[in-house]
Amino acid sequence: GCILDGKLYPFGEIARTENCLRCSCSQNEMRCCSLFHTPVAYDKENCKVVFNKESCDYDVVQKSDPSKQCHVYSRV
């Protein structure tokens, strides 16, 4: 298998690691890509970005009331 962040994963496709990556493990290499997109265009003055490990994505919430979502214009 392959070791990533101290955890052993089996050969083949890994749909989701503990750190929200999708990986492919072979005898020669391990390739991974993220399952989330980083917010880049939002109201930075009134909102903040919080990583949600349950959904493997970033939530953009109001600084004054984190229970309220902010509109995101663009992600990368």
Shared domain for 65 and 48, answered yes or no, is yes
Shared domain for 26 and 43, answered yes or no, is no
Structural tokens at position 72: 């995101």
**CATH of residue 44:** 2.20.25.590
Structural tokens at position 52: 């949600």
Shared domain for 51 and 64, answered yes or no, is yes
- The count of domains in the chain is 2
Shared domain for 30 and 43, answered yes or no, is no
Domain span at 61: 39-75
Shared domain for 47 and 68, answered yes or no, is yes
Give the model confidence (pLDDT) of 30-53 as tens digits: 999 999 999 999 999 999 999 999
Please, are residues 30 and 38 in contact by the beta-carbon 8 Å criterion?
A: no
pTM: 0.72
Shared domain for 21 and 45, answered yes or no, is no
Task: Report the share of the chain in percent with pLDDT over 90.
Answer: 93
Predicted pLDDT at 12:
97
Helices in 1-76 by DSSP H: which ranges? none
